[in-house]
Amino acid sequence: MAVSGALLIGFLFLHMIGNLKIYFGASSFDSYAHWLRKIGEPILPYSGFLWIQRVVLLVAIGAHIWAATSLAIAARKARPVAYAHRPKVQGSYAARTMRWGGVIIALFVVYHLLDLTTRHLNPVADTNQAFGAVTADFAPGRWYVTLFYTLAVVMLGFHLRHGVWSAFQTLGWKFPRTVALAVSVLLCAGFLMVPLSVMFGIIK
């Protein structure tokens, strides 16, 4: 859970920094997107590094889901008779929504790939146009897309708020919860800035 989560968080940070390149203009953003495909050339083929990264991430996601599922099954087995009177758990909202929140995030990732990677759900089909795809996606007329992204990122923020702290706890380090909160707020802000900037016309 902790190790695969750490890999995924590492990716999120790089992804966020890459997204923020959009503030340097269309050509800067598009050439960054093109550069991602050229990493490692000529030893690696075009897009070679991206495919290696995709395989690693897929393995990490698989391990994360496998660990979560086995924990959920163990939990179900450990309490065969449920409580008749069970108030909401007293821990944080973040801790209590880890499992279903994770499912929602996984579904969002599928949508996100169909939208901005394969472009099946994006108005711009040309995969060489990264800037155009982002600005068309979050245009004011498609406010519902921005809303959905916002909800998904906030869900991710909750997931990370408990997840980051819990990962350190699992790996045996005492870790302040405030730092985990700061990490999730930072990632949320970084990811939300781009779609909101497009929607409110700051990026054109």
Residues 98 and 134: their CA atoms lie apart, in Å, by 29
Query: Residue 89 has what DSSP assignment?
Result: P
Q: How near is the Cβ of 177 to other proteins at its closest, in Å?
A: 10
Output the CA torsion sign for 147, 60, 8, 174. Answer: positive
- The interface mask with other proteins, positions 106-145, x = CB under 8 A, is ----------------------------------------
Site for other proteins in 161-190 (CB under 8 A): 162, 165-166, 168-175
Q: Does 8 bind other proteins (CB under 8 A)?
A: no
Q: Considering only residues 73 through 112, tell me which ones interact with other proteins, judged by CB under 8 A.
A: 74-75, 77-87, 89-92, 95-96, 98
The site that binds other proteins (CB under 8 A) totals a number of residues, namely: 34
The Cα-based distances of 77 to 14, 74, 85 in angstroms read 39, 5, 19
CB of 88 to other proteins, least distance (A): 9
3-state secondary structure 163-204: HHHHHHHHCCCCCCHHHHHHHHHHHHHHHHHHHHHHHCCCCC
Q: Which residues bind other proteins (CB under 8 A)?
A: 1, 70-71, 74-75, 77-87, 89-92, 95-96, 98, 162, 165-166, 168-175
